[in-house]
Structure 1
Amino acid sequence: MGYVNLGQLIADLEAHGELIRIDVPVDARLQAGAIQRRVFRAGGPAVLFTNVSGCVFPMVANLYGTMDRMRFIFRDTLQTVERLMRLKLDPMTAVRRFWEYAGAPRAAWNTMPKKLRTGPVMENECSVSDLPELVSWPMDGGGYVTLPQVYSENPVSPGFGASNLGMYRVQLTGDSYETDREVGLHYQIHRGIGPHHAEAIRRKEPLRVNVFVGGPPAMTLAAVMPLPEGLPEVFFAGAMAGHRIGFVTGDGRLPILAEADFCLSGTIAPDLQKPEGPFGDHLGYYSLAHDFPVLRVDKVYHRTGAVWPFTTVGRPPQEDTMFGQFIHEMTAELVPSVFAGVHEVHAVDAAGVHPLLLAVGSERYVPYAAERQPQELITNALSLLGNTQTSLSKYVLICAREDSPMISAHDVPGFFDNLLRRIDLTRDFHFITRTTIDTLDYSGISLNQGSKVVVSVAGPHKRQLGTEIPADFDLPEGFSDAQVFAPGILVVGSRAHDRGRDEHDPALERLGERLSHVKGLEEFPLIVVADDAGFTSADWDNFLWVAFTRSDPATDLYGVGAFSHCKHWGARTSVIMDARLKTYHAPPLEPVPDVERFVDGLGASGGPLHGII
């Protein structure tokens, strides 16, 4: 059976050599987060901080820091849940191979939450200011909960059946909030709590919310699981836990996770927002301060022996990368059933997840045509942009499996090679402008608003890809240091961006004009302009991060031989992507040298991290 609470998980990980203790004093401001990031990068164990400066509660990090540990944590239930998911693809499988599904009735029973009169989390109360004040990056606006499970119910139909459990950022301290009375609740667009909050606003009443921290690891996984609308996350948590999840109910309260380590209970007022942030985010930059809802805290509960789990976010890969990979393993086979004609998708973690989605689809609309061209692929891509978390994607690059049966969206270099050899630059770009984008993406024209582009590619090779800079390649003033990053991809350095938001840069248009006479440039269909060509070209992780987190398709794509015809845009020779940091972008995250030296000391001979980092 799965873990009932966090304490069981910690004890079991320690017994199996998957957790270490750090008993020396560690500050939750900057030091704890820096340690977690370094241990994660080293593929190290979970870390229990027993001596948190100025706080009575221990903290634990990196619980989910490796795929092996993720599989170990859910080893008792993972196969059963995967089999249940496969039933969506082929319901008759359970009839033909009934012995593999003998546990299905029990798993279904476990999805139903158990109602309790009380639970360990109700044993003690404290104040918000008693909780660990985790600050991961120097410009963070205050202490944050980074592994929260935010629970709400639909005011129209309360109960588990219409509930939502999400991992939304919770700011505990900061200048905006009344000490011990208010915390910030940052939820992004396309999140399940949104309809609950909208209904409460319509009814002019507060929305009750509980924030759980700790408890069964299945609840943490459920909070980040992209489930279909109408399937409550708490049901999935029970299946992953291998037992019914207990909630304290009654007395008119919103259900409280009985085995949680902490619970903040309160209400969101229908007409109150305050500045939340800045905060280091998973794109590798700071998300700046913006108005978000405020949770008025009524109670803070905690169990005896409570431990505060946390992670830190930053430029990927980070610990949250493991959640994405684990979820992909569980759900990859379901993609064709959710998106007809799509065989594989890959939200690229190195590019910040939402900025870049690679997909492999089918192109079968006109099988008798002399030459295959994108038609069904465009339908597939629009489906991806209209459903689930893939709707937040900014660049959707989709290729036809018929052209290359072995193509994989997870082989990024191979995918780009296939796409660039076949792309028709005059035909294959399809823009959506003035639309909704990820809240954390500052490349657009305003908060939550920017553009998207579908690049759909099918048919025979259109070109060979260049591996050497053309002999007469000549750059105008302000551009320099051209480098071949990969076959068909050039990276060019440039002076800093100096334009305003929602503006084209005439310098990039002049670059396109200058390059229009370069012979052999057609072998380089993609040219990326960056602040630092050497850094961008160093490896695929750098290239993907710079190119797709720092550009907005409609604003930042230019061309050699660019044209617009009947509102369709294309380029005759090459596409130029302006991937410089813009004047309006949020700053990138930078480590603190003094803090890094402190972590180095823990890794020195005799230190608790010696041999790990």
Structure 2
Amino acid sequence: MFRNLHAYLTALEQRGELVRIQAPVSHELEITEIADRMVKSGGPALLFENIPEKDFPLVIGLFGTAQRTAFALGVEALEDLADKVHRLLELEPQTGLAGLMRMLPKLGALKGFFPRRVRRAPVQEVVLRGEAVDLTRLPVQKCWPKDGGPFITLPLVITKDPETGEVNVGMYRMQVLDRASTAMHWQLHKTGRLHFEKAKRLGKRLEVAVALGGDPILTYAATAPIPPVPGVNEFNLAGFLRGAGVELVRGVTVDLPVPAEAEFVLEGYVDPAEDPVVEGPFGDHTGFYTLEDLYPRFHVTALTHRRNAIYPSTIVGRPVMEDAYLIEASERLFLPPARMILPELVDYHMPSAGVAHNWVNVAIAKRYPGQAYKVAHGLLGLGQMMFAKVIVVVDAEVPVKPGLPALTHALTHALPGRDTLLTRGPIDVLDHAARAMGFGGKLIIDGTRKLPEEGGEVPFAPQTHAELPPHPGVVAQHQWPGIWAVTLEKCHPHQARDLAQALSQYPQSVGIRLLLLTDADTDAANLEEVLWAVLNNIDPERDAWVLAGAGGPILALDGTRKLPEEGFARPWPEKIVMDPEVKRRVAARWAELGLPEG
């Protein structure tokens, strides 16, 4: 564990995983461009010590690689998190003195589970109240060109259930609106939103505290999908992972516990009686902009911080970003509990091209017909896994990571139509393609070997073809074994479906089981990019079709933008693209900034 962010940065610097940048760099777009290049090349964390017109340095990339994330979480590799939880789950109630004695050696697994209250805290070395609060002193980033303003991206938002008193720590982006207020992005399914709605029913203000920094384990815990267990919250998870209780102090103006070793704490309230404020757009983790919407306003009544405070930040956008490694940590952490509910579950993985919920590979120890669907539906009932859009199920011996080999393997055993299932359920509210906000279609692909009761195996040899047919409307195309990617300049309704039907009749469709169609601004020769675009842009129930191809059935996915004439009423968001001038400016200064080539 690390006592605080400063201890973690010292350790990263000793490992050669932190670069200090003393030259001036703007918090508007420039830091994003540098950090984006670093994370995509597996580079170090970055400490920007000179940010014009701001009072504090900024650090970014704290979780920028799988290895660094494991180091932050106190393990050699992220796989070790599963072992840690498995040992905890082995604890069983014992009776009698002999049974209790046998339990004693195992109780060390619970060391640190409960927080420790303290009366003095480094985060309260400086206390600013009322008119002295000025959020514009912080180097809050404007991350992407079309963002609605600067956003706090790594906050630990602390609230208390107005009815039960249960504490929650969540991570919700916060757009800075002025010197003393932000928008609070409490989405429909989040616990913070539940606390807000309860306060609204009771006619009360909801106290809120927002911590920035501290032990990176606590920052991770705020992102983890903890099940709603009474008396268990993110402070408990962080303490369990740290092996030492999180030190908490009472806020100076709110009756909420805040991390004593944080860098900053913003204290205040949200008043449900107020009109919501316009929040966004925001370049989101999907790689698309989330459009403007209405959210509550958070009023800051006090800002406390360490004397030598460092502002922690992150960026999200087109994969791979560092949130992919936080997601992987949660995969490993929650695999043992998932196995307790679904014993046949061997492993699962959410590839970065699926930006978490859009694509989940699952390996199972199959014994009976229909078991793949049983497990898929079981996963869809587990916490935030309910947001999964496409679930690909394979046999136990098939590695689920990386994503593409497992998908290719599944296609050799999945006969489109017979072994694919469309259903519907809750969807992440950030999913712009769903039929309605928070509700849409899902696709299950059973890529396991088929038993006689399931129709048995249908021989299939994945193929590629050197010469692909020219066709009106096709901008570019590429094939991999069993997969055909096509991009088009969409200009009229149902164009993708007509094109898919035509292409499925060409001889070059023989040996293809998955046809991916998307817009012309996608690189057809980059399968990861194609999958990212398609998975973002489909509602499977609307956009997945089984075609009678020249060589057998083909599953086609329409990953193009949807038009109003196709029954899609909401605006379609843009892909995130950095300003070319910012890219040029950063590239010209790269050597001056002392950055490693990536």
SS at match of 1:525: strand
Q: Given the alignment, which residue of 465, 489, 492 partners 1:495? A: 489
Does 1:298 find its partner at 2:278? no
Which amino acid in structure 2 is aligned with residue 525 of structure 1? R
Does 1:440 find its partner at 2:430? yes
In structure 1, list runs of 5 or more residues that go unmatched: 174-178, 366-372, 500-504, 563-570
Contact 1:470 1:518 in 2 (8 A): no
Which amino acid in structure 2 is aligned with residue 236 of structure 1? L
Deviation, structure 1 residue 457: 3.6
Change (3 A) 1:347 1:610: closer
Contact 1:512 1:558 in 2 (8 A): no
Q: Distance in 1 between matches of 2:22 and 2:103?
A: 46
Change (3 A) 1:258 1:498: farther
SS at match of 2:411: helix
Does 1:59 find its partner at 2:54? no
Which residue matches 1:206? 205
Q: Distance in 2 between matches of 1:31 and 1:99?
A: 59
Which residue matches 1:323? 326
The residue correspondences of 1:25-64 to structure 2 (distance < 5 A) are 25-64=24-63
Which amino acid in structure 2 is aligned with residue 514 of structure 1? A
Which amino acid in structure 1 is aligned with residue 429 of structure 2? T
Q: Given the alignment, which residue of 122, 125, 131 partners 2:124? A: 122
Q: Distance in 1 between matches of 2:333 and 2:102?
A: 17
Deviation, structure 1 residue 442: 0.8
Q: Distance in 2 between matches of 1:81 and 1:476?
A: 50
The residue correspondences of 1:161-180 to structure 2 (distance < 5 A) are 162-173=166-177, 179-180=178-179
Change (3 A) 1:55 1:234: same
Q: Distance in 1 between matches of 2:102 and 2:590?
A: 47
Which residue matches 1:511? 499
Q: Given the alignment, which residue of 364, 373, 377 partners 1:378? A: 373
Which residue matches 2:555? 575
Change (3 A) 1:100 1:34: farther
Change (3 A) 1:100 1:597: farther
The residue correspondences of 1:123-522 to structure 2 (distance < 5 A) are 123-124=125-126, 125=128, 126-158=133-165, 162-173=166-177, 179-230=178-229, 231-249=232-250, 253-271=255-273, 272-365=275-368, 373=369, 375-399=370-394, 401=395, 405-433=396-424, 435-458=425-448, 459=450, 460-469=456-465, 477-479=472-474, 481-484=476-479, 486-499=480-493, 505=494, 507-515=495-503, 517-518=505-506, 521=509
Q: CA offsets per residue over residues 447-495 of structure 1, 9 Å max, x none?
A: 3232212222441542323424499x867643464432x2111122323
Change (3 A) 1:533 1:29: closer
Does 1:611 find its partner at 2:596? yes
Deviation, structure 1 residue 518: 4.3
SS at match of 1:398: strand
Deviation, structure 1 residue 331: 4.1
SS at match of 2:159: strand
Which residue matches 1:502? none
Contact 1:522 1:574 in 2 (8 A): no
Change (3 A) 1:478 1:603: closer
Larger mean CA deviation between 144-153 and 423-432 belongs to 423-432
Deviation, structure 1 residue 262: 0.8
Contact 1:128 1:180 in 2 (8 A): yes
- Alignment root-mean-square deviation, CA: 3.1
Contact 1:80 1:107 in 2 (8 A): no
Contact 1:492 1:533 in 2 (8 A): no
Deviation, structure 1 residue 275: 1.5
Q: Distance in 2 between matches of 1:157 and 1:93?
A: 27
In structure 2, list runs of 5 or more residues that go unmatched: 451-455, 564-570
Change (3 A) 1:156 1:560: same
Contact 1:143 1:172 in 2 (8 A): yes
Contact 1:77 1:241 in 2 (8 A): no
Q: Distance in 2 between matches of 1:63 and 1:470?
A: 44
Which residue matches 2:566? none
Contact 2:169 2:234 in 1 (8 A): yes
Which amino acid in structure 2 is aligned with residue 87 of structure 1? R
Contact 2:331 2:348 in 1 (8 A): no
SS at match of 1:224: coil
Change (3 A) 1:412 1:5: closer
Q: CA offsets per residue over residues 360-409 of structure 1, 9 Å max, x none?
A: 224434xxxxxxx4x1221211111111221111111223x2xxx42122
Q: Distance in 1 between matches of 2:64 and 2:350?
A: 19
Count residues in correspondence: 571
Change (3 A) 1:67 1:466: closer
Which amino acid in structure 2 is aligned with residue 430 of structure 1? L
Which amino acid in structure 1 is aligned with residue 421 of structure 2? H
Deviation, structure 1 residue 286: 0.8
Q: Distance in 2 between matches of 1:397 and 1:246?
A: 42
TM-score, normalised via structure 2 length: 0.87
Deviation, structure 1 residue 240: 2.4
SS at match of 1:599: helix
Contact 1:482 1:533 in 2 (8 A): no
Q: Distance in 2 between matches of 1:595 and 1:222?
A: 34
Contact 2:475 2:520 in 1 (8 A): no
Larger mean CA deviation between 104-113 and 406-415 belongs to 104-113
Q: Distance in 1 between matches of 2:94 and 2:459?
A: 48
Does 1:542 find its partner at 2:538? no
Q: Distance in 2 between matches of 1:255 and 1:457?
A: 48
Contact 1:559 1:573 in 2 (8 A): yes
Deviation, structure 1 residue 144: 0.9
Contact 1:428 1:457 in 2 (8 A): yes
Change (3 A) 1:338 1:164: farther
Which residue matches 1:86? 86
Deviation, structure 1 residue 73: 3.0
Which amino acid in structure 1 is aligned with residue 554 of structure 2? S
Contact 2:417 2:546 in 1 (8 A): no
SS at match of 1:383: helix
Q: Distance in 2 between matches of 1:213 and 1:103?
A: 36
Which amino acid in structure 2 is aligned with residue 360 of structure 1? A
Deviation, structure 1 residue 46: 1.7
SS at match of 2:436: coil
SS at match of 2:68: helix
Q: CA offsets per residue over residues 330-367 of structure 1, 9 Å max, x none?
A: 444444124343222111212222111111224434xx
Q: Distance in 2 between matches of 1:217 and 1:288?
A: 30
- Percent identity of paired positions between Structure 1 and Structure 2: 26
Q: CA offsets per residue over residues 152-195 of structure 1, 9 Å max, x none?
A: 1211121xxx221111111113xxxxx23321111334322233
Which amino acid in structure 1 is aligned with residue 386 of structure 2? S
Q: Distance in 1 between matches of 2:429 and 2:435?
A: 12
Q: Distance in 1 between matches of 2:540 and 2:70?
A: 38
Q: Distance in 1 between matches of 2:162 and 2:311?
A: 30
SS at match of 1:133: coil
